[in-house]
Amino acid sequence: MPDPRRPFSPGPNREEANMEMQRLNRYHLNISEDDNEARRQQQSRESVFYATKTTKDVRPEQLLPYRTESIREQYRYLCHIVTHIYMAIKSLDLKSNISISVGDLDRARAELMRGVGEGDGQERGENEEKQGLDAEGERFETLMHTESEAEEDDQEEDSSDSFYESDLESEDEDASVFASTPVSKVDKQSASVISLKYWTKELKNLLTIGVAVPGRLCVSLIKVFYAVVLSRGQSVDIGFYTEVVVALMREKDVLRELGLRLDWRPIYQDLSGGLVGPNESGHVADELRMKRLVRFSLAVSSFFDPGSIGQVVELILARYSSQTISPSFVQMAVLLPVVFKRPVSGTMDTPVYEAGDIRHYLPVLFSCWATQQSSREIGSLVSVVANIAQQALAEGSRHPELVHLGKYGIFTRQQFAMLLNLLAVSCRSPADEKQSKYLKLLVDIAVHSLTARFVHSESGVLDLLRTFIGSITTLVHPSNSGVWSTGLSRVVKRLATAYHRRLLQERVDKTLVARYADDYSGLPLQYRLSDELTAAYIDMLLPVIMLGVQSKAPGQRRRYIASLQTLCFISPHRVLDTVLLDIYSSFGSVNSTHRINVILREVTALARYMVQLPIYRVHVPRLLSMLVPGIDSNDPDKTILTIGLVKLVCLVVPFADLSAGRGDGGALALDFTARHVRYLEGEFYGGEKNKSEKSEKEKNKNEEKSEKREEKNEEKNHTDSPPPSFPYSPEEELNALKSASSAFPEFARQFCRSCFKYLEYSPDVESDDGVETRASVLIPQAFDALVESIDDSLFQIVADEFFAYVSTHVKHPVAVIFSNIAELLVRRDPAALLHKLYGYLLRQIRREIAVGAGVSRGQHVLNKDASLVWYLKLLCGVCLGAGGHLVPLLGDLLQLLTKDTVNLRGEASYSVSMLANSVFTAVSCVRPLERRLISPDWLEKHGGHVTEACWGAFQFDPYRFDASNLQFRWYPAVGCRNRSFGGWLRQGHRFQHPQHRHASKRRGKGQQTALGHCRSTQPSRQYPRRLRCRNLHSFRPLL
């Protein structure tokens, strides 16, 4: 019996099955039915299905409560796509200007078969005419390519992103003189149109979801799209096909092993069409097409012939003149293959390379760079130099004998001095998008030139960078802001992120590295980033970053905060010591609003590192207690920052009393943190006096010992150790942590009361969009994180605080916010809270209806109707979080929805519609039942109690990918067991309260409905907590 959940058409007949099997074998897609065996074949070099070298840490599809399509089913659809791409290519109609259907192809085949079997061919043709074209198209997934879709495709081409900016970016490509004829309207009878772009979109969708295409098929498809892009006479969407080719080239190592090589000459001919000599004349180039062709060339240049460097440089420089500077630089950027070979002569410090080595042409590139003034394409030339510096590290990791890094990396002293001089000059000018790319390239070159061997060299890379940072320190100061401030913030951030990226790429463990990033782990130790170099680099950047975080410009401040977070990942102790002093000193002085907001941002950025480090994690509960009073209706900006801090801490800290009720409320923790702060103050203020005197002596001694250290140095982890002289023992620190955790119950009460107090003065969240409302909308998100991170005793405190408030207050303007919180609480423990809240709210609703509430029409809620609206919306949240526990109560809900509320009007009637929607969602949607921060598996193995090992939520621990940690309980959508409600549920799409339509019309065009706000204010909870925690704290986005 065919599987009804197959991703495409029903089971084929015998003829179609044979044809499908032939195509699967032809394209090497006839893979095993078993997914595990299929993945093994995809990673085996001897297999025809060899597609990838990488393995995934976790497969989310295996965690779902239902079966997804198998790899073989994906390959079957891939075969279907490739077949249609082949037919579209053979038609030579790349723009889909001509309507070609499957029926047209079958009739053409019948015509060819007439000579072999006249009778059979004629009979087939007669049958086709009777059945029509629609029946023929049922065998394939087809495209109805209408005139509107043709216009939409043209708009997609015009809006595609480009690598280079151009004044013609907004012009229509089809309006150019080289455009093809416009797409004609396809008749509706031709439902099965063979369209190259349509089936290429389907291929792109498969690549987007991570389908590993066999390498041999990838090679063939890349060559096909390479020819499509370079075809002339038809205006194809080069930007779209570039994205597809980039997706196909994800596994570059696999493609190189399979021998993929592309000819650079066709691209050179296209790019050089408008590149003429000073005494020659040429035709007008289509600048929009050239712009997209440059981006495509940049994507495929790594597969050009490695031996073509000399020929490419000769052809480009032959036409190089003052009139062709810009196109020449572009051609260098996209056509030069990066190849490294052994030096032919010279010394270790000044090697000489042959003409087939890309480093042989560095003097030429720097000469062109130095002799030309500012050009709009100067970034193209700089990108070539930056790419050479980056690939030198990757090649040195694979073949150490080919790459030698001197005092300035692969550059000479004059070249590197010129580079830093340009960086110092350029970062002071106003930074637009193009200038920012230029600055980032210069920073990348500098960071890729750092080596452990020359960390203490006078006038070395680090020494020159230190001089550069010293020159911009006064410009970074908040009191000296100007047009240069934005550019400087981008430079400082790039200095931090580029160093962090290289540091991760040098590690053997690739857990935190992007899947397709370059690997530098094979570099010799003398060329890598040592701990000593890292410490000096952080000491250089940290002071200027601490100045920058005080900036009042939001964009600049965010970049400095991101830089601080990046440095904290590299060397947490060194950064946290500095930041803690800044935090506590701010509380000891006159507190300005700006100062407290800066502290909140700093703690939010660094809390995820603090909670997993001894000593520093004891500070977190104290800082929370000091900062939670920032939830204040008089300062919504500070409220937003405070809620964000609490949310982040809840995502990495399980809120549980580690002292098992025997704590002192935080007294021991207060004494421990106070002693630590006094120690840091003594080290900081006492160390500054002797720092300048000792620095010169230590520098000289380190220079004498550097050569001996190179041979004896062993690879170390890029982490530093806490200050060894701080007087503490592990037992003392653990007792202080337990003391700090004993203050969590009081924190939970304080946080709930502060949030509820803020919501009392919040405007209507359904009609207002100010900063106060944005703060209100963030409160349910913080409660979402809090509820899933607290233990049962703290959860009871939060639930009691919530029930005490909603039973004594009526705040209908923010009823949606409280409805979201009610859903979170009931979802956590429906057995205990559902009947308590449901029974109370149902009694109150019926009591309000009995006294005549809810019968007034109008947009505004009257005082006599406010309580009814309040209770109805709270009941919506209670029902939405109940899930399967709501089934026994469906009879009462049916009575309430169909009989008790039939006379309601105005906002009350709209709330009833919300309640019906909540009931439908609760009993019919698949959702995870368990979303706790710490998995039940871990608690079961450790006696059911949270310990100090859980602090940090295993964000950098391999346990987060363990199969036992990723087992979740799900609520499956089951059939309704209540007959009366089941019949109403089956007709639920026709349910509409008498006043629902009027309530919807009362809201303005730009206002969200209450139901819309109910869903928008809820945080995304489709994935369990532990998966969300893992995604939040992955460093892969940085790469």
Give the tokens for residue 897.
């929805």
Confidence tier at 229 by pLDDT (50, 70, 90): very high
Strands 351-352 and 927-928: unpaired
Confidence tier at 344 by pLDDT (50, 70, 90): confident
% of the chain with per-residue pLDDT over 90: 45
Give the tokens for residue 912.
């009833």
User: Which pLDDT does position 147 carry in this prediction?
Assistant: 42
Give the mean model confidence (pLDDT) for residues 94-109: 71
Residue 164 has pLDDT above 70, yes or no: no
CA Rg value for the chain: 33
Most confident of 203-212, 288-297, 1014-1023: 203-212
- CB-based contact 733:658 (threshold 8 Å): no
Among the listed ranges 312-316, 611-615, 818-822, which one has the minimum average pLDDT value? 312-316
User: Which pLDDT does position 823 carry in this prediction?
Assistant: 95
Give the Å distances, CA to CA, from 611 to 153, 581, 647, 779.
50, 17, 14, 22
Distance (Å, whole) CA 17 – CA 253: 35
pLDDT tens digits for range 899-919: 888 888 888 999 999 999 999
pLDDT tens digits for range 170-197: 333 333 323 333 333 333 333 355 788 8
Give the Å distances, CA to CA, from 910 to 692, 877, 902.
72, 15, 12
Residue 308 has pLDDT above 80, yes or no: yes
Most confident of 151-165, 198-212, 285-299: 198-212
Residue 942 has pLDDT above 60, yes or no: yes
Distance (Å, whole) CA 673 – CA 278: 74
User: Which pLDDT does position 869 carry in this prediction?
Assistant: 93
Q: Does domain 339-570 have CATH number 3.30.450?
A: no
**Domain(s) of CATH 1.25.10: residues in the chain:** 339-570
- CB-based contact 338:388 (threshold 8 Å): yes
pLDDT tens digits for range 672-719: 999 999 998 888 776 554 544 545 555 555 555 444 444 444 444 344
Give the mean model confidence (pLDDT) for residues 259-269: 91
Give the tokens for residue 661.
């009720």
The single residue listed with the structure tokens 């439902």 is: 191
User: Which pLDDT does position 808 carry in this prediction?
Assistant: 93
Residue with more model confidence, 663 or 723 = 663
Confidence tier at 265 by pLDDT (50, 70, 90): very high
Sorted by sequence, the CB contacts under 8 Å of residue 961 that are 6+ apart come out as: 57, 58, 1030
- CB-based contact 822:871 (threshold 8 Å): no
Q: How many CA atoms lie within 13 A of 546 on its CB side?
A: 17
Q: Cα 566–567–572 angle (5° rounding)?
A: 115
Distance (Å, whole) CA 545 – CA 476: 9
- CB-based contact 450:461 (threshold 8 Å): yes
Residue with more model confidence, 721 or 308 = 308
Q: What is the DSSP letter of 406?
A: B
User: Which pLDDT does position 275 carry in this prediction?
Assistant: 58
User: Which pLDDT does position 992 carry in this prediction?
Assistant: 44
Q: Average pLDDT over the chain, rounded to whole?
A: 80
Most confident of 56-65, 254-263, 277-286: 254-263
Give the mean model confidence (pLDDT) for residues 734-748: 94
Among the listed ranges 346-355, 499-508, 578-587, 806-815, which one has the minimum average pLDDT value? 346-355
Give the mean model confidence (pLDDT) for residues 302-323: 86
Residue 787 has pLDDT above 80, yes or no: yes
Distance (Å, whole) CA 442 – CA 127: 69
Considering the entire predicted model, what is its pTM?
0.82
- CB-based contact 424:417 (threshold 8 Å): no
Distance (Å, whole) CA 620 – CA 616: 7
Residue 747 has pLDDT above 50, yes or no: yes
User: Which pLDDT does position 646 carry in this prediction?
Assistant: 96
Residue with more model confidence, 416 or 1026 = 416
pLDDT tens digits for range 831-847: 999 999 999 999 999 99
Give the mean model confidence (pLDDT) for residues 399-405: 90
Give the mean model confidence (pLDDT) for residues 990-1001: 39
User: Which pLDDT does position 348 carry in this prediction?
Assistant: 67
Q: How many CA atoms lie within 13 A of 578 on its CB side?
A: 18
The single residue listed with the structure tokens 């059939």 is: 975
User: Which pLDDT does position 114 carry in this prediction?
Assistant: 67
Task: With CA atoms as reference, report the closest residue to 639 among 811, 777, 805, 745.
Answer: 777
pLDDT tens digits for range 645-668: 999 999 999 999 998 888 888 899
% of the chain with per-residue pLDDT over 70: 77
> Helix 413-426 vs helix 433-447: angle between axes, to the nearest 10 degrees?
150
Residue 109 has pLDDT above 70, yes or no: no
User: Which pLDDT does position 167 carry in this prediction?
Assistant: 33
- CB-based contact 772:635 (threshold 8 Å): no
User: Which pLDDT does position 716 carry in this prediction?
Assistant: 40
Q: Is the backbone of residue 9 left (phi > 0), alpha (psi -120 to 50) or beta?
A: beta
725: amino acid identity, one letter: S
Burial of 67 (0-12, 13-18, 19+ CB in 10 A): exposed
Report phi then psi at 865, rounded to 5.
-100, -10
Task: Assign 3-state DSSP to the chain and report helix, strand, coil percentages, each to 5.
Answer: 65, 0, 35
Burial of 52 (0-12, 13-18, 19+ CB in 10 A): buried
Residue with more model confidence, 374 or 930 = 930
Name beta bridge partners: 204.
none
Q: Which 3 state secondary structure label does DSSP give 853?
A: coil
- CB-based contact 904:859 (threshold 8 Å): no
Task: With CA atoms as reference, report the closest residue to 642 among 659, 663, 626.
Answer: 626
